[in-house]
Structure 1
Amino acid sequence: MISPILCRVVPLKPTLLRLLSPFSTTPHSDAAILARLKHRDWLTPKEATTLLTSLTDPSSTLSFFNLYTCRKDFDPTEPFCTTLVAKLAQAQHLNPLLTLHHALTLPRPQRRQFSDNFFFTLIKAYAHSFQRVDDALRTLHEMPCPPSTRTFNFVLNLLVNTRLYCAAHNLFLHAPKLGVTLDACSLNILIKGLCAQGELNAAYQLLEEFPGLGCEANARTYATLMKGLSERGRMEEAFGLLERMEGGSVDADVAVFNILIGGLRKGGRVDEGWRVLEGMMGKGVAPNGGSYNEVLCGLVEGGRFDEAKKVVERMGVEGFVPSFESYKGLVKGFCESGVVGEVEWVVRDMVGKGFVPKMGMWGKIVRCVVEREGSSGCLSVAIDSVLEDDK
């Protein structure tokens, strides 16, 4: 059990308490909770946790903590500390969080051991609220209990997402020493990092090692590798992975097909993308809005505006909404073609879908109408002058 003398460790000095105290006005409900801590009646750890959870203003957290740590019944149980970490993170109070973390790691007789769930909350706070990747990684390595695979994967993914690929690779190799059992998610994260580095051959090799590591590749595994291949224009290899999936026991989902359609679109092969979209329905996979938007963007980028309009109409029937960028491209294309009627149709459709045209788009529309009506060049120059701030 953590000794009550932690109240002298965590707050440190009265001067520090004043520096860390909130300056905002305490809400009435929070004031009542803080007043409750000044009473001499005994508080159980569960009651203290309930009071802490009830705070409405995150800035009241420090006042609560300072009052509670100086009580004789102060007992920092795991539920209390887990709630406290979440509250401190919400209030963006890093220094008190670091102080709490340090106090909980001090060697003390009969110190209460916290579970992986607490450290997962602490690591998430460091990563999401304070962008302290180093503290998140350090906490993982210093955990008194073996990290769960969930906690390990969170940090591994954090390193990959922040492009710390060498650190991610080292952490992956260090998993056995930490007592972590790797799973398919761990391997998928590493494949994502390898693909981001352009190490596609290494990613392929890792895919082959799944069985030896006691894991089975899933749709996310293949989708991650397909995305890396598609981004580098290696579409034949990406489709080879699809054939491998279909020949095995892994069912391709809509995310897999969307990656393939998007890769074809980037390569200017929008017709092939449309065939993939129609073919996936024959395989029992229903396309979603992302599937149609990939094809739609490809048509707009290729200047095939009449065909793009038909896709928009089909999306409306299917209950999907085109992206704002697609509408923007359609307006631009039809304006450049001088087809005022089609421009009006696009604007009406996008407004009906909840989009609001911006001034830059209105500028193109007005110029289109002016030019279509044969107005003078002086008027066009005046419109350009009025709308130049939004170009």
Structure 2
Amino acid sequence: MSRALARRPAPPFLRLRSIVCDDGYWMGRLDHKDWLAPNEVLKIFANIRDPGLITSVFNKACNRRDYKPSEALYSLMIDKLACARRFSDVEELLAKARAEKFRFSDEFFYRLIKMYGNVAEHPQKAIDTLFAMPGYNCWPSTKTFNYVLHMLVCKRQYEVVHEIYSSAPRLGVTLDTCSFNILVKGLCQFGKIDEAMSLLHEMPKQGCQPNVTTYSTLMHFLCQRCQVDKAFELFERMQKQDIAADTVVYNILISGLCKEERVTEAFGLFKSMTSEGCYPNSGTYQVLLDGLISSGKFGEAKNLISVMSTESVRPSFQSYKLLIDGLCSDDCLDDAHLVLKQMVGQGFVPRMGTWRKLLTS
């Protein structure tokens, strides 16, 4: 009985008293007249358990003659306040820092902007912080600028993206290829593929060159719109610029061809990959397998599954099911039983419909 009681958590009022006592101890450390090292102040704030006390404890620390706040302390306080969702307290701390002309690094603002974008879910605050950086004698890096662009594209605030992009010169930001790749993705998602394509001409004017990500993004959206031939034009253009295609590019093109039921061309492109020094992954095999099955090329699909097995690539359960159904419909029962055996060997359990198809064919 005594052991069971010992395992019970402390009552809420005792836990609260523990927090108050702990915070009171750490606050009391600031009353000592002895000199406080910066690391000791960081330790005090790291151990404060009630985020509501952070601002008052900070003011108390700033009143000491032997201490001036550091960027590390501001970062620590803001992290703790953000976790507690006390964003008004964050604003109060930043206003105090600005009034005292405190200089922060770009890395500090990068983390602050991420906090507004991810934790606070307040993209406008992230934008405002980007534009406020020069007021703290800090100019945004390309990395920080690109994060804001990326955040807005992810949140589908496409109208604002161009405003931020246009502000690069006055913020002293030098755009890089990553900046343009984000813009290309945003324009494509917004349905403005022609404008996205025009950036291929704009990039060199800005001292940037398209890379494989630029092209693969454009190809992806062209294939989604059943414009595979245009995607292949970009593929040829990319090769002329000596930009090596990666597996992502091949997967996009193979998927696009299969979507337009041009499976023979997709299979030919698949075979040419290795000669170009690019090797298929599980996604490549799966896309091609699904294309062969949907086109009724069950024999080629069966052979591809055998290749996948040797490459330790596992087809999906749905692919096995559809292939067995197709082989049974074509009266290729021996092949169907062979695929069933492979399916079980991969750890899949066939459902009743698959057994019924085999037994009734």
TM-score, reference length from structure 1: 0.74
Residue 121 of structure 1 aligns with which residue? 111
Aligned to 1:18: none
SS state at 1:177 partner? coil
Amino acid at match of 1:117: E
Distance 2:13 2:296 in 1: 58
SS at match of 2:258: helix
Q: CA deviation at 1:118?
A: 0.8
Instruction: Provide the rounded CA distance (Å) in 2 between the counterparts of 1:258 and 1:320.
Output: 15
Structure 2 residue 58 is the aligned partner of structure 1 residue 69: yes
Alignment partner, residue 120 of structure 2:
130
2:240 is equivalent to residue 247 of structure 1: yes
Amino acid aligned to 2:287: E
Name the CA distance, whole Å, in 1 between partners of 2:115 and 2:97: 23
Write out aligned runs for 1:320-359 (5 A).
320-322=313-315, 326-334=316-324, 337=328, 341=337, 344-351=340-347
The offset of 1:69, in angstroms, is 2.2
Q: Say if 2:324 and 2:339, in contact at 8 Å, map to a contact too.
A: yes
Provide the rounded CA distance (Å) in 1 between the counterparts of 2:26 and 2:99.
Answer: 31
Whether the aligned pair in 1 keeps the contact of 2:153 and 2:182 (CA below 8 Å) is: yes
Aligned partner letter, 1:180: V
- Report the Cα offset of residue 105 of structure 1: 2.8
5+ residue gaps in structure 1?
Answer: 1-21, 375-391
Quote the Cα distance in structure 1 between the aligned partners of 2:238 and 2:181. 16
State the secondary structure of the residue aligned to 2:301.
Answer: helix
Give CA deviations for 1:242-283 in whole Å, capped at 9, x if unaligned. Answer: 111111132222222221112112222232222212112111
Q: Is the 8 A contact 1:299 1:308 kept in 2?
A: yes
1:318 matches 2:314: no
2:7 aligned residue: none
Are residue 203 (structure 1) and residue 193 (structure 2) matched? Answer: no
The structural deviation recorded for 1:313 is 2.8
In structure 2, do the counterparts of structure 1 residues 106 and 229 end up closer, same or farther at CA, with 3 Å as the change threshold?
same
Match of 1:60 in 2: 49
CA deviation after TM superposition for structure 1 residue 129, in Å:
2.1
Q: Which residue, 282, 286, 290 being the options, matches 1:293?
A: 286
Aligned to 1:366: 352
Matches within 5 A, 1:103-252: 103-106=93-96, 110-143=100-133, 144=135, 145-252=138-245
Tell me how far apart the structure 1 counterparts of residues 20 and 338 of structure 2 sit (CA, whole Å): 58
Shift of 1:165: 1.0
User: What SS is found at the alignment partner of 2:283?
Assistant: helix
Q: Structure 1: which amino acid aligns with 2:341?
A: W
What is the one-letter code of the residue matched to 1:291?
T
Matching residue of 1:101:
91
CA distance in 2, matches of 1:235, 1:150: 33
Check 1:281–1:49 CA distance in 2 against 1; reply closer, same or farther (3 A cut).
farther
Gaps of 5+ in 2: 1-11
CA distance in structure 2 between the partners assigned to 1:280 and 1:30 by the alignment: 65
1:208-260 Cα shifts (integer Å, max 9, x gaps) = 11111111111111111111211111111111111111111322222222211
RMSD: 3.4
For 1:125, the aligned partner's letter is M
- In the superposition, the TM-score normalised over structure 2's length comes to 0.79
SS of 2:170's equivalent in the other structure is helix
1:373 deviation in Å? 5.3
Aligned residue type for 2:317: Y
How far apart in 2 are the matches of 1:287 and 1:156?
32
Q: Is the 8 A contact 1:227 1:259 kept in 2?
A: yes
* Superposed CA offset, 1:309-330 (max 9, x none): 43233223223333xxx32232
Flag the 1:300–1:251 CA change in 2: closer, same or farther, 3 A: same
Q: Is the 8 A contact 1:194 1:203 kept in 2?
A: yes
Per-residue deviation, 1:158? 1.2
How many Å apart are 1:71 and its aligned residue?
3.9
Task: Say which SS state the counterpart of residue 178 (structure 1) adopts.
Answer: coil
**Alignment check: 8 A CA contact 2:258 2:288 kept:** yes
Q: Which whole-Å CA distance do the structure 2 matches of 1:291 and 1:343 have between them?
A: 20
* Matching residue's letter, 2:122: R
Post-superposition offset of 1:107: 6.8
- Give the Cα–Cα distance (whole angstroms) in 1 for the partners of residues 80 and 261 of structure 2: 50
